[in-house]
């Protein structure tokens, strides 16, 4: 059933500094008549799921940045009150601090009401999500475990994605955190498991240094290496991949997230759609 998604309560765009030839500058704050698809998705997420008094997990990524900024705007305007954010990375903590969202840092005993986060990809139907892929614009290798922990601790979670990131038969990389002392043995076991379907590369701290990660592989603050398991053929089931990885000695965790109370907010060019795990049906469109 298609239902019109609620519009953002207040049109919103970020202020921008405009420099003049006299080296002075003026700040223009305008209401955007045509917000970007990601901004519409961010506004919809905050307006539909965040309520006064909530503890909210603040995700990381382009859409999450916009959601944090819009949340700060709503707090300043008094539309919602008493929200506390739990940042999933230094990036989300910085955005929250700049836009006036009060923070507290995650502990295992926290009660988190709601969380949002950018996903790299979401499997159609199951809503199993991939997080933690290395991109050219962001390097958040040290936060995969924290991001996954906050999402799993939340009573309800939303993943923010673009249209092309929601499909079945996903390909591409799945990050796997492994114990650094025996990383090579673990990598070989994973390589044997997916022989012909995937390549296994140890993530380098600088550039692409080859399958072994070069002289400076990523070592997280917890002492883990990251293996990128790069699937070159469509993956029939992300849940089966997660189960197989969980059974390998030396695998600490991975970037596959499965959650019962989960919604995906999809930023399309002309509409925002929401898909729930229970129905995998479109519940909104604007």
The tens digit of pLDDT for each residue in 131-174 reads: 999 865 556 678 999 999 999 999 999 999 999 999 999 999 99
Number of domains in the chain: 1
The tens digit of pLDDT for each residue in 77-125 reads: 999 999 999 999 999 999 999 999 999 999 888 899 999 999 999 999 9
| Pairing relationship of beta strands 121-123 and 25-28 according to DSSP bridges | unpaired
> Residue 188 phi/psi, 5° resolution?
-65, -35
Mean pLDDT of 39-67: 97
174 within domain boundaries:
yes
13 within domain boundaries:
no
* pLDDT at site 7: 41
286 within domain boundaries:
no
Q: Domain range holding 55?
A: 37-276
Residues 6+ apart with CB under 8 A from 98: 72
19 within domain boundaries:
no
84 within domain boundaries:
yes
Are the C-beta atoms of residues 278 and 153 closer than 8 Å to each other? no
C-alpha to C-alpha distance for 142 and 218, rounded to whole angstroms: 9
196 within domain boundaries:
yes
15 within domain boundaries:
no
Task: Report the phi/psi class of residue 277: left, alpha or beta, with left for phi > 0 and alpha for psi in -120 to 50.
Answer: alpha
Name the band, by pLDDT with cuts 50, 70 and 90, for residue 34: confident
CATH number reported for the structural domain that contains residue 226 in this entry: 3.40.50.1360
pLDDT over threshold 50, residue 283: no
- For tokens 């202020």, the residue is 15
Are the C-beta atoms of residues 218 and 177 closer than 8 Å to each other? no
* pLDDT at site 94: 96
C-alpha to C-alpha distance for 64 and 85, rounded to whole angstroms: 12
137 within domain boundaries:
yes
Q: Is 58 helix (H, G, I), strand (E, B) or coil?
A: strand
Are the C-beta atoms of residues 265 and 160 closer than 8 Å to each other? yes
* pLDDT at site 162: 97
* pLDDT at site 39: 97
Task: Report the phi/psi class of residue 193: left, alpha or beta, with left for phi > 0 and alpha for psi in -120 to 50.
Answer: alpha
């Amino acid at each position: 059933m298609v239902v019109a998604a609620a519009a953002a309560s207040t049109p919103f765009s970020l202020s921008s500094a405009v420099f003049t030839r006299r080296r002075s500058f003026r700040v223009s704050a305008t209401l955007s008549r045509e917000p970007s698809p990601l901004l519409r998705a961010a506004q919809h997420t905050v307006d539909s799921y965040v309520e006064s008094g909530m503890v909210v997990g603040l995700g990381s990524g382009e859409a999450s940045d916009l959601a944090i900024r819009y949340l700060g705007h709503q707090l300043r305007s008094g539309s919602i009150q008493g929200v506390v954010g739990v940042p999933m990375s230094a990036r989300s903590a910085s955005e929250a601090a700049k836009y006036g969202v009060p923070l507290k840092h995650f502990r295992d005993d926290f009660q988190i009401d709601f969380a949002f986060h950018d996903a790299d990809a979401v499997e159609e139907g199951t809503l199993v999500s991939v997080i933690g892929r290395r991109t050219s614009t962001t390097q958040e290798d040290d936060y995969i475990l924290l991001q996954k922990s906050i999402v799993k601790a939340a009573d309800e979670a939303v993943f923010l994605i673009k249209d092309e990131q929601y499909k079945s038969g996903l390909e591409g990389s799945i990050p796997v955190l492994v114990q650094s002392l025996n990383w090579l043995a673990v990598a070989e076991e994973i390589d044997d498991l997916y022989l012909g379907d995937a390549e296994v590369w140890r993530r380098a701290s600088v550039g692409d240094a080859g399958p072994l990660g070069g002289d400076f592989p990523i070592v997280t603050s917890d002492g883990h290496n990251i293996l990128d398991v790069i699937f070159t053929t469509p993956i029939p089931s992300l849940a089966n991949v997660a189960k197989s990885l969980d059974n390998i000695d030396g695998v600490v965790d991975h970037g596959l997230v499965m959650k019962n109370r989960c919604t995906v907010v999809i930023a399309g060019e002309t509409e925002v759609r929401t898909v729930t795990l229970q129905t995998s049906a479109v519940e909104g469109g604007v």
